[in-house]
C-alpha cells in the first residue's frame, strides 16, 4: 500500500484492506470464482466494452438518482445482493449490511445461508427487505422459510435458479477450507491466528457462527461443516419452471428470478409469474467459461420488454458501471463483493461510504451525459468501444430502464 493511501475510497481499496484483515480462506471464499475464474474476471472486464456518451450545453441542474426497485422507492438503482455467510466477514455481517442499506436508502437482500436469521435482520432495521432462496428438496422447509421471511417483513423474494449443483471453487480446496482434512484444519487455524483483529471481533464476539435461517433443521447447529453437508444435499437438480409456478402460488410478494442469462429463460421466468429477472452468472462462481452478465443484459431486456423488471448482478465496481447497465436495459443492479469488502475492511460505516461514492458517481455521470433523471438513461447514451467488435447487434436493442415497471 502506498504510504499516502490512508483512506479507502474505491472497491479496489476496500478489497485490499479486507485481504489484510480476513483469514486467507475467508478472503478467498468471497474473492474467488469457479475453476480458472475466467467468467469472474470477464464480469468486471467486459464493462470496458461499452462507452458512455458525453453531451454538453444542457441544463443538468437538479440531477436526481432516485428510482423504484421492486415497487419501493430507492435513492439510486442499486440493491445489496445476497451473500452467503456474510456474518463471517464482519461481526453479524447481515445486520451491518442491512443497516448500511437502510442508511443509503436502498434494498438489502439477505441469504438463505446467512449467519444472521431473518428475525435478527428485521429487528435491526424495522422495514421491509428482500429474501434470497434456493429451491431445496424439502418443500415443507421452503414453506417454513417463506413464512419466516414474510413474518420478518420480507416482501420481495429473490429466487436463485443457477445452483442445481455447486460450482467447483478451486480456491476453497487449495486453502484447506474444503476437503483438506487435518492439514486443512491446521492451515485454517494458522490463518486465524495471523488475523487477530478478525479473530476477536468476528471469531469471538460474532458468535453464533451458524446459518441462522437453518438452525432448527441441522442436528449440530454450531458445526458449519454439518451445515454445508446439509445444504449440498438439499440442492435440487430436478427443479423446472413448474416449481417456479408452485413458488408463485405460495408467495404473495414479488418474485425476482436470479441467475438468468438467456433470453428464452427470461421469457420462461416471466411466463411462470415472476415480477422480474436478475441477469447473473452467480458472480462467476458456478459455470466458468459462460458469458459475462453485462454482455447478456441487453438481449434479456429486449426479450422481456415492459412486462417485468430486469436487473444486473455481477462485475459492478462503480457508479459508472451502474449507468452502463441502465443504458443497456437494467432497472437496477445488485452488488455483492463490493459491500462485503467494504464491510470486512471498515464495518457498516465503510459500506455507507462506498454506497455514497456510487451515488455520487452516478449523479456525476448523469450530469456529464446531459440527463437529470434515471429514466433518461437509455441505449442512445451507450456505444461499443472503438475497435471492440465483440459486442453484438442485440447489445443496443433494448427498451432502457425508462420502460414502465410491472403493475
Per-residue pLDDT, 163: 87
Asked whether the CA dihedral 360, 365, 371, 376 is positive or negative, the reply is negative
What average pLDDT does the structure give for the chain? Answer: 91
Kindly list the distances between the CA atom of residue 241 and the CA atoms of 147, 231, 268, 357, in Å, as whole numbers in the listed order: 22, 21, 7, 39
Does a structural domain hold residue 215? no
Peptide bond into 91 cis (omega under 30): no
Examine residue 118 and state whether it is found in any structural domain, yes or no.
yes
pTM confidence score: 0.92
Residue 191 resides in a domain: no
Q: What is the DSSP string of 81-96?
A: PP-TTGGGTTTTHHHH
Catalytic residues: 282
Q: What stretches of 22-138 show up as alpha helix (H) in DSSP?
A: 24-31, 38-45, 93-104, 118-125
Gap between the Cα atoms of 307 and 282, Å rounded: 24
163 CB-side CA count, 13 A:
23
Q: Helices 11-21 and 24-31, interaxial angle, to 10°? A: 150
Asked whether residue 328 is domain-assigned, the answer is yes
Please state, in angstroms and rounded to a whole number, the distance separating the CA atoms of residues 70 and 155.
9
Length of the chain: 407
**Cell output for 388:** 471492440
**Residue 113 within any structural domain of the chain:** yes
Contacts of 99 (CB under 8 A, 6+ apart): 124, 125, 348
CATH of residue 276: 3.20.20.70
| Spatial contact of 250 and 143, defined as CB atoms under 8 Å apart | yes
In a domain, 384, yes or no: no
Sign of CA dihedral 182, 91, 94, 214: positive
Domain count, the chain: 1
The pLDDT tens digits for 344-360 are 999 999 999 999 999 99
**Residue 319 domain-assigned (yes or no):** yes
- pLDDT in 10s for each residue of the chain, 407 residues: 565 567 899 999 999 999 999 999 999 999 999 999 999 999 999 999 999 999 999 999 999 999 999 999 999 999 999 999 999 999 999 999 999 999 999 999 999 999 999 999 999 999 999 999 988 888 999 999 999 999 999 999 999 999 888 888 999 888 877 777 888 888 889 999 999 999 999 999 999 988 899 888 876 666 666 766 777 788 778 888 999 999 999 999 999 999 999 999 999 999 999 999 999 999 999 999 999 999 999 999 999 999 999 999 999 999 999 999 999 999 999 999 999 999 999 999 999 999 999 999 999 999 999 999 999 999 999 999 986 655 443 444 444 444 433 33
Structural domain range at position 31: 11-169+233-333+341-379
Q: Indicate whether 270 belongs to any domain.
A: yes
Amino acid at each position: 500500500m502506498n504510504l499516502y493511501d490512508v483512506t479507502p475510497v474505491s472497491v479496489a481499496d476496500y478489497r485490499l484492506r479486507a485481504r489484510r484483515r480476513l483469514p486467507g480462506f475467508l478472503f478467498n471464499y468471497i474473492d474467488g470464482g469457479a475453476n480458472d475464474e475466467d467468467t469472474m474476471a470477464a464480469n468486471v472486464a467486459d464493462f470496458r466494452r461499452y462507452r458512455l456518451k458525453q453531451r454538453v450545453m444542457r441544463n443538468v441542474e437538479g440531477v436526481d438518482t432516485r428510482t423504484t426497485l421492486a415497487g419501493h422507492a430507492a435513492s439510486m438503482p442499486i440493491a445489496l445482493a445476497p451473500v452467503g455467510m456474510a456474518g463471517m466477514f464482519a461481526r453479524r455481517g447481515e445486520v451491518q449490511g442491512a443497516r448500511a442499506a437502510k442508511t443509503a436508502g436502498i434494498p438489502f437482500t439477505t441469504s438463505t445461508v446467512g449467519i444472521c436469521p431473518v428475525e435478527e435482520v428485521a429487528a435491526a432495521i424495522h422495514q421491509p427487505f428482500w429474501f434470497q432462496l434456493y429451491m431445496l428438496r424439502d418443500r415443507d422447509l421452503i414453506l417454513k422459510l417463506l413464512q419466516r421471511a414474510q413474518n420478518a417483513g420480507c416482501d420481495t423474494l429473490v429466487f436463485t435458479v443457477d445452483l442445481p449443483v455447486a460450482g467447483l471453487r478451486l480456491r476453497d480446496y487449495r486453502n484447506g477450507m474444503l476437503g483438506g482434512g487435518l492439514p486443512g484444519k491446521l492451515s485454517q487455524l494458522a490463518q486465524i491466528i495471523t488475523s487477530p483483529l478478525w479473530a476477536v471481533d468476528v471469531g469471538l464476539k460474532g458468535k453464533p457462527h451458524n446459518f441462522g435461517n437453518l438452525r432448527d433443521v441441522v442436528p449440530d447447529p454450531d458445526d458449519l461443516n454439518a451445515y454445508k453437508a446439509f445444504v449440498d444435499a438439499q440442492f435440487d437438480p430436478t427443479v423446472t419452471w413448474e416449481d417456479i409456478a408452485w413458488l408463485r402460488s405460495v408467495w404473495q410478494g414479488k418474485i425476482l428470478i436470479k441467475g438468468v442469462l438467456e433470453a428464452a429463460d427470461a421469457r420462461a421466468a416471466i411466463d411462470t409469474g415472476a415480477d422480474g429477472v436478475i441477469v447473473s452468472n452467480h458472480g462467476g462462481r458456478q459455470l466458468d467459461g459462460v458469458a459475462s452478465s453485462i454482455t447478456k443484459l441487453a438481449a434479456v431486456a429486449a426479450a422481456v420488454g415492459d412486462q417485468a423488471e430486469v436487473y444486473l448482478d455481477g462485475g459492478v465496481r462503480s457508479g459508472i458501471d451502474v449507468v452502463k447497465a441502465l443504458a443497456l436495459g437494467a432497472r437496477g443492479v445488485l452488488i455483492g463483493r463490493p459491500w462485503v469488502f467494504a464491510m470486512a475492511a471498515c464495518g457498516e460505516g465503510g459500506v455507507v461510504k462506498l454506497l455514497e461514492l456510487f451515488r455520487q458517481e452516478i449523479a456525476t455521470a448523469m450530469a456529464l451525459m446531459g440527463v437529470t433523471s434515471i429514466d433518461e438513461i437509455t441505449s442512445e447514451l451507450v456505444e461499443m468501444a472503438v475497435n471492440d467488435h465483440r459486442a453484438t447487434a442485440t447489445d443496443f436493442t433494448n427498451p432502457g430502464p425508462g420502460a414502465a415497471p410491472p403493475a
